Amino acid sequence: MSTFPEIPFWLTALKALGTFVVLVVLVLFTIWFERRVVAFMQVRPGPNRNGPFGLLQSLADGLKLAFKEDITPRTADKWTFLLAPLIAVTCAFTAFAVIPMGPEVNMLGHATPLQLTDFEVSVLLILATSAVGVYGLVLAGWSSGSAYSVLGSLRAAAQVISYEIALGLAVLTVFFQSQLTSMSAIVNSQSEPLQLNIFGANVNLPGWYFLILAPSFVIFLISMVGETNRAPFDLPEAESELVSGFATEYSSLKYASFFLAEYVNMVTMSALATTLFLGGWRPPFPESWWPAASEGYLPLVWFFGKVLLMLFVYVWLRGTLPRLRYDQFMRLGWKVLVPVSLVWLMALAAINIGGGAEQTQATRVAFVGVASLGVALLIMFWPSRKPYTPPEEPDTGVGGYPVPPVDLAVPPTPRGMTELREKDSAELEESSDRKDN
C-alpha cells in the first residue's frame, strides 16, 4: 500500500480507464456467456448470428437500446428519474477499484500493482458501495410514479437489508481468520499452503479460505446472488408479478444502465469472492511448481479464470432453479443464513482462542468448517414433509383459494357490463310496454 502514493496521476488515470474498459468488455462477454450456457442447458443454439459464435450479439443489443425512444412518464419526478440509473452505475463501477488483479508490475517505466487503489479497510468500500447502490433502485421506483415500480424498489431495499447482514458476517470471518482488512493483504495471506494430516499422510492443499472457512464461503455465495438481484432471487424485477419491477417505466439508455449496473455488480461480487476465498490472483497450484506463475502479467489469467468460474455459478443457478416466493426468500435470509453465520462466527472465535500453532489452528478450522457445512446441508435437505393424505371431502378450490371456473368463462369487461345493463333495461322496458298494450 505504500507504493500507491508514489504512482503518478497520469498512470492512475490510465489504470482507471483500463479498469473501466475491462468491466465493460466483461459485461458484454457475460451477457453472451449467459445466453450460450443457458442455451446449451436447454438444447438450443443461442446467439450465433452477430459476429463469430454470436460474440457481437451483446454489442448489437446495446446499440439497439441506445437508438430506442427515450420516454419519461408524465407523472415521474424528472430529476430523480434521471439520477437513479446514474447512482446505480457509479456505485457498481466504484466497487471494483480496490480489487487486486495481480502483483506489482513494471508499467511504462513505473512499478505499480495491478490494482487501482488500496487502503487498510478496502473491503469495506465494496460493502458500502453495494449498500448505497440500492438507493438507485429505490429512487427509480419512487420517481417513476408507478405502483409496480414502487413495489419493486421496496423489495430491492428489503432484499439488500436482509442479505447484506449475512454477506458482512461471511466477510467478517475472513477478517477474523487473516487478522487483515486490506484486499491485497488478504490475497497474500492465502499464499501459504495448508498442511493436513489425513490418516497419517501429510497432504498439502492451497491455503485458500474456501477450504478453511467452508461455511462462510457457502453463505457468501448465496448472499452475493441475493445481493445482486439475480435468479432465483430476482424478486425486485419479477416479470410475472411486477412487469419489470423498479425499471418498468425506463427505456433506452436509462433502461440499459440498470442492466449494466447489474452485470458489473455480478463481476465485482465474483471478483470479491475470488479475492476473499479463492486466493485472488494466486495460481491454482503450488507456486514452487512454477515460480514465474505469480510474476508479471500472468496472474491476470488465474484471476479472470476464477472470476469466470464464479460467473458460471450465476448462470448455472439461473438456468436450473425456479424463482422463490418472497416469503421463502426472506425466511432464508433471516432465519437460516443470519443465525448460521452467527453460530459459525462464535465457533470460529472459540477455535482461534483455544488454538495452538498456526497450521494446527488452520487444520482445526478446516475440520470444524467442513463438519459444520455437512451438518447444515443435512438439516436443510432432510425430508421433513408429512406424507400427503387426500381430504375426506372434495375441495372446491385449491387449499381454500379461489380457482377459475371449470368452463373458463371470462367475466365481461366494464364496458361489456354497461352494455349488458343497457340491454337488460331495454328488454325490461319493452316487456313492460307489451304488458301495457
DSSP class per residue in 83-120: HHHHHHHHHHHHHGGG---EEEEEETTEEEEESS---T
Long-range contacts, 34-39 (Cβ 8 Å, 24+): 34/314, 34/315, 34/318, 37/312, 37/315, 37/316, 37/319, 38/315, 38/318, 38/319
Q: Residues 170, 338: contact at Cβ < 8 Å? A: no
Supply the mean pLDDT for the chain.
83
The confidence score (pLDDT) of residue 313 equals 94
**Around Cβ 375, how many Cβ atoms within 10 Å?**
12
- In tens, the pLDDT along 272-312 reads 999 999 999 998 887 777 888 888 899 999 999 999 999 99
pTM over 0.75: yes
Higher-pLDDT residue of 101, 292: 101
Provide the pLDDT for residue 396.
55
Give the range among 60-74, 208-222, 342-356 with minimum mean pLDDT: 342-356
Q: Are 255 and 166 in contact (CB under 8 A)?
A: no
Residue 87 pLDDT level (bands cut at 50, 70, 90): very high
Listed by start position, the domains of the chain span 71-381
Asked whether residue 355 carries a pLDDT value surpassing 60, the answer given is no
Mean pLDDT for 79-87 is: 92
Which tens digit of pLDDT belongs to each residue from 125-162?
Answer: 888 888 888 888 889 988 988 888 888 888 888 888 88
pLDDT value of position 1: 58
SS3 percent helix, strand, coil of the chain, rounded to 5, is: 65, 5, 30
pLDDT band at 357 (very low <50, low <70, confident <90, very high): very low
Check residue 359 and give its pLDDT.
Answer: 47
Lowest mean pLDDT segment, chosen from 79-83, 265-269, 331-335, 379-383? 379-383
